[in-house]
């Protein structure tokens, strides 16, 4: 369960009292997530009709100096009509509070379920909402550099070292040179906006084909919009192990995106390389986590080879995939 800090009922009730959301009714730890502690919060609501929220305590992997960017972005996108949960501000107007030296934020709860095996209709609508989010973010005043770009992937894999990578899989050390080559060829002048950069299926809540919410914006940054589409393509269009590509899903994502925002010829041409960079981002992070996680830890390590297979697919067939 992703609750790294235990909070008593009394502590939670005292915290909720700082918000104009009624009194605490119940709090349940949420199992999903790997970086922060999360609770599903039910309150009496301002009018007594009941209300539901997500409470997050930020434990790791987030620079607290970036927290106002993430939370203000949610408010901006929600105000622009995007299906994004709003930040609930406390009675003093603050978007987050401090509790025992850790930052906590109360976020609007939006209903919906994440899908394991998306349909074409779902993929189309995810692509369209991603494009809407990009356009809405263009009026957001703040910016944040992408700290997980191709140079970082190359650096992380190099730091892991060939010997440690080979212990995971003999094919993995070759990704060091591949990551460096992708970083050297990376386009620098594609249209930019705020991107989600981590839009896996578990970060999208749906009801049928309708996108109810995009969540978990804690990797959001200013970067190429086409790169965000490439990340989403890599996350949605394959079987979990990366062995099978679902062309109907990949095509629907791009078609949905272009139903809202047309890709430029430069973006379309760059997509095969951007998709390789997207795959390498998760190869590097998974390899690093695999090496740094003790063998007896009660954590299921994610196989980096699932994204090596995606990398190989995009290198081999990316041009055809993105020009179809």
Rounded Cα distance, 124 and 250, in Å: 9
Is-same-fold flag (9-108; 120-323)?
no
Q: Average pLDDT of the chain?
A: 94
Give the pLDDT confidence score for residue 195 in this predicted structure. Answer: 98
Give residue-wise pLDDT tens across range 173-200.
999 999 999 999 999 999 999 999 999 9
* Whether the predicted pLDDT of 62 surpasses 80: no
Residue 219's pLDDT band, with cuts at 50, 70 and 90, is very high
Rounded to 10 degrees, the C-alpha dihedral 113/114/116/122 comes to 90
Rounded Cα distance, 313 and 245, in Å: 8
Rounded Cα distance, 74 and 83, in Å: 10
* Whether the predicted pLDDT of 36 surpasses 90: no
Q: Which DSSP symbol is given to 152?
A: H
CA 7 from centre of chain: 26
Residue 73's pLDDT band, with cuts at 50, 70 and 90, is very high
* Whether the predicted pLDDT of 304 surpasses 90: yes
Cβ neighbourhood burial of 102 (10 Å; 0-12, 13-18, 19+): middle
* Whether the predicted pLDDT of 289 surpasses 70: yes
In CATH, the number for domain 9-108 is: 3.30.200.20
* Whether the predicted pLDDT of 296 surpasses 70: no
Q: Which two tokens stand for residue 42?
A: 């039910």
Residue pair 122/206 in contact by the 8 Å Cβ criterion: yes
Residue 89's pLDDT band, with cuts at 50, 70 and 90, is very high
**DSSP-derived pairing of the beta strands 87-88 and 37-43:** unpaired
Q: What percent of the chain is modeled with pLDDT above 90?
A: 86
Angle at 51 between CA 94 and CA 43, to 5 degrees: 80
Give residue-wise pLDDT tens across range 124-155.
999 999 999 999 999 999 999 999 999 999 99
| Domain residue extents for the chain | 9-108, 120-323
CATH topology of domain 120-323: Aminoglycoside 3'-phosphotransferase; Chain: A, domain 2 (3.90.1200)
Work out the average pLDDT over 153-167: 97
CA nearest neighbour of 72 among 45, 107, 41, 43 = 107
CA nearest neighbour of 143 among 80, 225, 70 = 70
Residue pair 268/182 in contact by the 8 Å Cβ criterion: no
């Amino acid at each position: 369960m992703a609750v790294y800090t235990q909070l008593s009922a009394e502590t939670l009730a005292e915290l909720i009292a700082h918000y104009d959301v009624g009194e605490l009714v119940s709090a349940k730890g949420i199992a999903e997530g790997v970086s922060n502690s999360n609770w599903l919060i039910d309150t009496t609501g301002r009018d007594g009709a009941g209300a539901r929220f997500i409470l997050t305590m930020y434990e790791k992997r987030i620079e607290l100096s970036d927290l106002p960017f993430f939370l203000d972005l949610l408010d901006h996108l929600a105000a622009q009509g995007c299906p994004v949960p709003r930040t609930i501000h406390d009675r003093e107007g603050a978007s987050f509070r401090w509790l025992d030296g850790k930052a906590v934020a109360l976020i609007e709860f939006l209903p919906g379920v994440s899908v394991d095996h998306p349909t074409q209709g779902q993929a189309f609508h995810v692509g369209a909402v991603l494009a809407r989010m990009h356009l809405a973010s263009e009026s957001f005043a703040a910016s944040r550099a992408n700290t997980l770009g191709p140079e970082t992937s190359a650096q992380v894999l190099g730091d892991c070292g060939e010997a440690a990578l080979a212990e995971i899989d003999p094919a993995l050390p070759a990704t060091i040179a591949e990551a460096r080559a992708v970083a050297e060829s990376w386009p620098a002048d594609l249209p930019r906006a705020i991107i989600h950069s981590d839009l896996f299926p578990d970060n999208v809540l749906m009801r049928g084909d309708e996108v109810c919410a995009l969540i978990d914006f804690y990797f959001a940054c200013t970067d190429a919009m086409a790169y965000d589409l490439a990340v989403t393509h890599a996350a949605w269009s394959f079987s979990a192990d990366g062995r099978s590509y679902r062309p109907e899903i990949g095509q629907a994502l791009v078609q949905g995106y272009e139903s809202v925002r047309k890709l430029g010829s430069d973006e379309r041409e760059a997509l095969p390389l951007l998709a390789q960079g997207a795959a390498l981002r998760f190869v590097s992070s998974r390899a690093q986590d695999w090496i740094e996680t003790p063998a007896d830890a009660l954590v299921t390590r994610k196989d980096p080879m699932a994204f090596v297979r995606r990398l190989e697919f995009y290198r081999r067939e990316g041009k055809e995939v993105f020009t179809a």
